[in-house]
Amino acid sequence: MNAYEKLLLENKAWSEEMHQEDPEFFKRLSALQTPEFLWIGCSDSRVPADKITGTQPGEIFVHRNIANMVVHTDVNLLSVLDYAVNYLKVKHVIVCGHYGCGGVKAAMSNQDFKPVLNMWLRNIKDVYHIYKEELNGIKDDEHRTDRLVELNVKEQVYHLAQTSIIQRAWKNDNSPHLHGWVYGLKDGLIKPVMEMTPNSPIDPLYHYEDL
Ligand code: CO
């Protein structure tokens, strides 16, 4: 059997199991999704949003990219955010990084990963640049990477708050809450590192007045 065929077999078994547990499950979900959470996570295969949070299909709207970045020119991320906030009316947006992130490690190296990856990793290098004094003071490589993972999550939450999408929702709906979390590959535990409640103060440079 090819490796991919196993996935299809597993899918069949899962479908049957779900149907047995709750015969209305698929019928209900095919009609409507009302997730309360938008998850912006890393594409890393070891950090599956639903598994590590014990959520079921329909409970969490997911966007993943390398190193869980919120890049203000990324149409993919922004359309997911717009849809989740304005149509699904999610109450929480979670940026979840993870310790030992390969994208963060790559951005801390001086290796040339060729144009497209260089372009993406540049966004992480820019976060390092903001905190370089603190980071350069950490001698241990693993600790320095893990601290950048935390700081990167924090910056990406700020990036969310800097969008007109979030600022308009804060003004009109007093929602959503923004969260920055970091997942530990070694213990499977999530550590919350920051939170922004609706209408938290942001850098005036990024504040929109005429929403
Ligand atoms: Co990663």
Considering Cα of 89, then 94, then 95, then 98, what sign does the dihedral take?
negative
Among candidates 155, 150, 206, 171, which has minimal Cα distance to 85?
Answer: 171
CA of 93 to the centre of ligand 1 (A): 18
Q: Which residues surround ligand 1, an ion (CB under 5 A)?
A: 42, 44, 101, 103
Q: What's the rounded mean pLDDT across residues 198-207?
A: 96
Q: What is the DSSP letter of 41?
A: E
pLDDT of residue 209: 94
Residue 118 domain-assigned? yes
Residues 47-96: tens digit of each pLDDT? 999 999 999 999 999 999 999 999 999 999 999 999 999 999 999 999 99
Question: Residue 123 sits in which domain range?
Answer: 37-42+61-199
Report the pLDDT averaged over residues 183-197: 98
- 128 within some domain: yes
96 is catalytic: no
In a domain, 205, yes or no: no
On whether residue 98 sits in a domain, the answer given is yes
Q: How confident is the model over 93-112, as pLDDT tens digits?
A: 999 999 999 999 999 999 99
Q: How far is the CA of 41 from the centre of ligand 1 (A)?
A: 8
Residue 19 lies in a domain: no
Work out the pLDDT band at 193, boundaries 50, 70, 90.
very high
Examine residue 124 and state whether it is found in any structural domain, yes or no: yes
Please give the helix or strand (H or E) that residue 181 lies within, else none: strand 177-183
Check residue 110 and give its pLDDT: 98
Nearest to 135 by CA among 153, 124, 148: 148
Q: Exactly one of 63, 98, 147, 159 is catalytic; which is it? A: 98
Other beta carbons within 10 angstroms of residue 177's beta carbon come to: 17
- pLDDT per residue as tens digits for the range 128-172: 999 999 999 999 999 999 999 999 999 999 999 999 999 999 999
> Is the residue at 210 inside a domain?
no
Task: Indicate whether 54 belongs to any domain.
Answer: no
Predicted TM-score (pTM) of the model is 0.96
Residue 32 confidence (pLDDT): 87
Indicate left, alpha or beta for 126 from its phi (over 0: left) and psi (-120 to 50: alpha). alpha
How far does residue 43's CA lie from ligand 1's centre (Å)?
Answer: 6
Predicted pLDDT at 196: 98
CATH of the domain at 110: 3.40.1050.10
Number of domains forming the structure of the chain:
1
